[in-house]
Amino acid sequence: MGPIGVFDSGYGGLTILRELVNKLPAYDYLYLGDNARAPYGNRSFETVYRYTLQCVKWLLEKDCPLIILACNTASAKALRSIQQQDLASLNPTARVLGVLRPTTEVIGNYSTTGSIGILATSGTVQSGSYLLEIEKFFPELNVAQEACPMWVPLVENGEHLGDGADYFIKKHIDNLLQQHTQIDTLLLACTHYPLLKDKIRQFLPDSVNLVSQGEIVAESLQEYLGRHPEMESSLSKNGKQRFYTTDSTQDFDAKAVSFFGSAITSKHVDLQ
Ligand code: DGL
């Protein structure tokens, strides 16, 4: 028996964990933020894979039977290799899931015009993973993508609510909306972006839906556990959450509250 491991490059995964705890409060969760090496968004495939694998191994050593990569960049660039090459030798009964698949399964349902826009890190956009996955579930959907390389650094540095953020928010929203005139739904395909929601709204027509992933991922996890009773019964259920960061715990605790919604106390782990 063990907790559900939740991983992100930094704080963003806390926006997912928050919804997991809301929907499935009975389970134990172990969060790992690789803040010392964030952001991942502009790093190569090899680097994102190496860092993510290291974090997954650590969560497996902490007895997590199930791990969620609550990071689109890691889900797009490392998940498949970990699932197909590494997991069988690391722990054949453990499972590692991402946030991309559950999102692509439902995203087309939010649009009435049949055109959506995706805002994500450069790594997620360049991987092409959203386009490939959406094609499987919604082959008719028009999908425009826009990489927003400055958004995670703005959020990680607490500059996302200031006037300085406006330039970068408007620039990418305008670029995206220009790609298809019919876009009626924007997906925040980076777990850091929910903190920018109010700012993004300011530069969007009211008619455009803004979709973030937390609730989608929580709903999908609930269904997954319903379909996999063997996994469900291997999860401990004391309603506890523990938090680890690879960087300063002081910084993590101070910033985490705006992502998670309530105060937390983290511990440090050195992965290098
Ligand atoms: N929060 C992560 C995501 O969903 C990535 C942020 C980063 O490290 O660039 O893509």
Q: Where are the domains of the chain?
A: 4-98+215-268, 102-212
* pLDDT of 84: 97
> The domain at 102-212 falls in which architecture?
3-Layer(aba) Sandwich (3.40)
Q: State the Cα–Cα distance between residues 232 and 105, nearest whole angstrom.
A: 22
* pLDDT of 75: 96
Q: How far is the CA of 230 from the centre of ligand 1 (A)?
A: 31
The pLDDT tens digits for 96-125 are: 999 999 999 999 999 999 999 999 999 999
Active site residue 55: no
Question: What are the residues whose beta carbons fall under 8 Å from the beta carbon of 163, sequence distance 6 or more?
Answer: none
Mutate to test the pocket of ligand 1, among 40, 75, 213 (most ligand atoms within 8 A of CB): 40
Ligand 1: atom nearest CA of 73 is 10
Mutate to test the pocket of ligand 1, among 71, 154, 196 (most ligand atoms within 8 A of CB): 71
* pLDDT of 60: 98
Catalytic residue among 55, 64, 148, 190: 190
Q: How far is the CA of 124 from the centre of ligand 1 (A)?
A: 9
In the predicted structure, residue 86 carries a pLDDT above the cut 90: yes
Active site residue 148: no
Q: Is the dihedral of CA 6, 12, 18, 19 positive or negative?
A: negative
In the predicted structure, residue 272 carries a pLDDT above the cut 80: no
Q: How far is the CA of 73 from the centre of ligand 1 (A)?
A: 5
Q: State the Cα–Cα distance between residues 127 and 190, nearest whole angstrom.
A: 14
Average pLDDT, the chain: 96
Question: Which of 259, 265, 247, 191 has its CA nearest to residue 34?
Answer: 247
The pLDDT tens digits for 125-171 are: 999 999 999 999 999 999 999 999 999 999 988 888 889 999 999 99
| Residue 11 near residue 35 (C-beta atoms within 8 A) | yes
In the predicted structure, residue 248 carries a pLDDT above the cut 90: yes
In the predicted structure, residue 238 carries a pLDDT above the cut 90: yes
Q: Mean pLDDT, to the nearest integer, of 32-40?
A: 95
Q: Is the dihedral of CA 145, 148, 152, 154 positive or negative?
A: negative
* pLDDT of 156: 82
Percent of the chain at pLDDT exceeding 90:
96
Q: Structure tokens of 166?
A: 């406006």
CB distance 69 to ligand 1 below 6 Å: no
CB distance 8 to ligand 1 below 6 Å: yes
The pLDDT tens digits for 190-225 are: 999 999 999 999 999 999 999 999 999 999 999 999
Range name among 40-44, 92-96, 114-118 with the lowest pLDDT average: 40-44
- How does DSSP classify residue 92? T
Q: How far is the CA of 179 from the centre of ligand 1 (A)?
A: 23
Q: State the Cα–Cα distance between residues 268 and 240, nearest whole angstrom.
A: 18
Phi, psi (5° rounding) for residue 212?
-110, 170
CB distance 191 to ligand 1 below 6 Å: yes
Mutate to test the pocket of ligand 1, among 45, 52, 192 (most ligand atoms within 8 A of CB): 192
Q: How far is the CA of 159 from the centre of ligand 1 (A)?
A: 16
CB distance 152 to ligand 1 below 6 Å: yes
The answer to whether 4-98+215-268 and 102-212 have equal CATH topology is yes
* pLDDT of 157: 84
3-state SS of 20-39 is HHHHCCCCCEEEEECHHHCC
* pLDDT of 249: 98
* pLDDT of 93: 97
CB distance 121 to ligand 1 below 6 Å: yes
Where does the pLDDT of residue 178 fall: very low under 50, low under 70, confident under 90, or very high at 90 and above? very high
Q: Mean pLDDT, to the nearest integer, of 236-255?
A: 97
Q: Mean pLDDT, to the nearest integer, of 228-236?
A: 98
Q: How far is the CA of 189 from the centre of ligand 1 (A)?
A: 9
CB distance 65 to ligand 1 below 6 Å: no
Which residue is it, tokens 């101070």?
A: 254
* pLDDT of 181: 87
The CATH class of 4-98+215-268 is: alpha beta
237 Ramachandran zone, left/alpha/beta (phi>0; psi -120 to 50): beta
